[in-house]
């Protein structure tokens, strides 16, 4: 600061504009984070409310069942997704066998199948009145109770349904980790005498451990968030307990306390995932990448690899989809009437609105972090994006309690003061539903938008500012046109997630407002499985779009490689040459030059 001098020679201090504690962008990020964190803060706030008679009743009767069943589901599904996801990811990444090019994207198809829909489908197929047991009775002549058949509506059945649709989380991240590994490391292990199995167990698997643990954590969080499957199978977990306490016992405080216990399970999973990697450091051992050498499998090994990849796709997607299609064609009156068109309209406009809101918030938060980059802004953005780890049931309860309190307080004030009832302005409205979707799925769009912004050089901002554009115009006229594909991807991902969301929609939807997910759940709950197939099949078909998008992205994810395809090694015993050894670090190889070098 420079001082000004008066005519008398006295030095006057210059005017200094007061400095705000937070910049406008940081302030926007902090306010947004606090608003989106409201449901979680409400739930945790109820931990300190004295437990009432309902909570004491829950603790003495069913709380132990909730904890036990939830833990058994976590352990069973966790083991199952690891046993399926990691081996098939290794086979697709490092081996060549018949059908590999199809399986590399087909193994992700179960992501399009919500767990509650696959549960309804297999129940209709495997129940006593279903075609499978009917065929058994017809072929054997046995009657009911005279033969053994596994009970699909059980804890074990719920476990199988969940792992069939959740293993792609582990497969996706494991495959991406295997593709990113340096071929130099694998070749060094082979020079030391390690075969394919030893190289996988002692080299590739430890290097991919962070990605595998991250995929496992995502799958387990989905297990805790599931409501449709466990409710339909009659398995008592935290999500079903929250619904019963909210609707059956009519005690919001006890439901919030159950939600707080469930939320603590989620945070424990996150902490365990962080702790498992806390003392370990995983670095790329080389900055040079080349085509991964594949082991060409023959004979029974090729057949075993084909079967290992086929079974998850067959039972996790193909069989239930074909069954849904058969039921849908048998009940054409369900999807050809105006009521079904209304369900489709409600679902699509709600998903589109939620996607636009989530992407707009993600764009503001990510740009605020780019502009400021301070610790406060970074923490605010991370808090705003934590909703994806929170089950939809917990978010819905955390929204309903403050919204209902506000509506009741405002209605009481208006009645006492003006004699007018305001009714429900927030709770039980589409606004509450859209707010829940924004909290739940902001992280999906935020990660996509952050990745897109990170690819834009800071010099673009400097150039725009030098031309007189302030930050908002720079975002609108420079960054958004460049990120058009990224923004459309984020919109699509949130759109499909909203389309499949069930528990938050069940709790927060307005009266007589249905979506495809709610309609499928209601019809299945009434044992009208055939009638529910049209809504379920529509959700599955729309969910295929981001699955195809993810497959394309991961296939092109290997550094230093211009195309996703790579050639297999001719023989597992032959040590393939690494073309990366002759290339500069980070260089993109010229295919024609490589072929000439090989020749």
pLDDT, tens digit (0-9, with 9 covering 90-100), for 166-197: 999 899 888 877 776 655 555 555 555 555 66
Give residues with Cβ within 8 angstroms of 351, minimum separation 6: 494, 495, 496, 498, 499
Reply yes or no on whether the pLDDT at 570 is more than 90: no
Maximal C-alpha separation, the chain: 117
Residues of the chain with CATH 1.10.3720.10: 43-290, 321-564
Q: Can you say how many angstroms the Cα of residue 399 is from the centroid of all Cα atoms in its chain? A: 21
Residue 12 belongs to what H/E stretch?
A: strand 11-12
- pLDDT for residue 194: 56
CATH architecture of 321-564: Orthogonal Bundle (1.10)
Reply yes or no on whether the pLDDT at 568 is more than 50: no
| CA–CA separation, 91 and 96 (whole Å) | 8
| CA–CA separation, 373 and 393 (whole Å) | 33
| CA–CA separation, 228 and 245 (whole Å) | 16
Of 46 and 294, the structure prediction assigns the larger pLDDT to: 46
pLDDT tens digits, one per residue of 365-414: 988 888 877 788 888 888 888 888 888 899 999 999 999 889 889 988 88
- Token reading at 441: 């799925």
| CA–CA separation, 312 and 498 (whole Å) | 25
pLDDT tens digits, one per residue of 345-363: 999 999 999 999 999 999 9
Considering the entire predicted model, what is its pTM?
0.80
- According to the per-residue pLDDT averaged within each range, which of 45-59, 125-139, 159-173, 448-462 is highest? 159-173
Region 444-455: mean pLDDT is 83
Name the least confident of 219-233, 289-303, 371-385, 451-465.
289-303
CATH code at 43-290? 1.10.3720.10
Q: Answer for the pair 475, 453: CB distance below 8 angstroms, yes or no.
A: no
For the chain, how big is the Rg over CA atoms in Å?
A: 28
Round the average pLDDT of the chain to a whole number and report it. Answer: 80
- Token reading at 123: 């129940």
- pLDDT for residue 236: 92
């Amino acid at each position: 600061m420079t001082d000004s001098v008066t005519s008398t020679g006295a030095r006057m201090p210059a005017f200094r504009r007061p400095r705000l504690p937070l910049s406008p962008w940081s302030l926007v990020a902090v306010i947004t984070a606090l608003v989106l964190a409201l449901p979680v803060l409400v739930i945790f706030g109820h931990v300190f409310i004295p437990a009432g008679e309902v909570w004491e009743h829950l603790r003495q009767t069913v709380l132990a069942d909730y904890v036990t069943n939830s833990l058994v589901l976590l352990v069973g599904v966790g083991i199952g997704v690891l046993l399926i996801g990691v081996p098939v990811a290794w086979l697709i990444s490092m081996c060549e066998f018949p059908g590999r090019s199809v399986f590399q994207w087909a193994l992700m198809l179960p992501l399009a199948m919500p767990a509650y829909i696959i549960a309804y489908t297999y129940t209709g197929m495997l129940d006593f009145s279903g075609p499978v047991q009917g065929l058994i009775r017809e072929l054997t002549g046995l009657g009911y109770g005279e033969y053994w058949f596994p009970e699909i509506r059980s804890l074990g059945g719920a476990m199988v349904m969940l792992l069939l649709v959740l293993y792609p989380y582990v497969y996706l991240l494991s495959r991406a980790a295997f593709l990113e590994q340096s071929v130099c490391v694998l070749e060094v292990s082979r020079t030391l005498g390690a075969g394919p199995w030893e190289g996988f167990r002692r080299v590739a698997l430890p290097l991919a451990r962070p990605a595998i643990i991250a995929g496992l954590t995502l799958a387990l969080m989905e297990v805790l968030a599931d409501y449709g499957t466990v409710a339909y199978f009659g398995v008592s977990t935290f999500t079903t307990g929250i619904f019963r306490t909210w609707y059956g016992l009519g005690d919001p405080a006890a439901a919030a306390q159950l939600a707080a216990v469930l939320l603590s399970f989620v945070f424990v999973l996150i902490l365990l995932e962080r702790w498992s990697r806390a003392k370990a450091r995983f670095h790329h051992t080389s900055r040079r990448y080349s085509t991964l050498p594949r082991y060409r499998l023959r004979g029974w090994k090729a057949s075993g690899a084909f079967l290992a990849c086929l079974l998850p796709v067959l039972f996790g997607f193909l069989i239930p989809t074909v069954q849904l299609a058969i039921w849908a064609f048998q009940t054409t009156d369900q999807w050809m009437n105006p009521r079904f068109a209304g369900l489709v309209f409600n679902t699509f406009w709600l998903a589109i609105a939620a996607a636009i809101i989530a992407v707009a918030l993600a764009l503001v938060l990510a740009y605020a972090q780019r502009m400021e980059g301070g610790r406060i802004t970074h923490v605010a953005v991370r808090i705003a994006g934590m909703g994806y780890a929170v089950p939809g049931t917990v978010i819905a309860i955390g929204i309903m309690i403050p919204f209902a309190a506000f509506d009741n307080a405002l209605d009481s004030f208006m009645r006492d003061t003006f004699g007018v009832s305001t009714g429900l302005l927030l709770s039980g409205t589409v606004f509450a539903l859209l707010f829940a979707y924004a909290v739940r799925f902001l992280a999906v769009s935020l990660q996509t938008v952050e990745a897109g912004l990170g690819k834009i050089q800071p010099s673009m901002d400097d150039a725009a500012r030098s031309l007189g554009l302030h930050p908002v115009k720079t975002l609108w006229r420079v960054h958004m046109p460049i990120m058009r594909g990224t923004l459309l991807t984020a919109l699509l991902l949130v759109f499909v997630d909203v389309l499949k969301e069930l528990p938050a929609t069940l709790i927060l939807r307005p009266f007589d407002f249905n979506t495809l997910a709610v309609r499928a759940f209601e019809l299945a709950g009434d044992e009208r499985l055939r009638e529910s197939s049209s809504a379920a099949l529509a959700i599955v078909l729309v969910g295929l779009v981001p699955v195809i998008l993810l497959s394309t992205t991961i296939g092109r994810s290997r550094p230093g490689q211009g195309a996703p395809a790579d050639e297999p090694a001719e023989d597992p015993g032959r040590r393939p040459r690494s073309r990366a050894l002759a290339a500069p670090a980070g260089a993109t190889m010229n295919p024609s030059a490589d072929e000439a070098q090989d020749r």
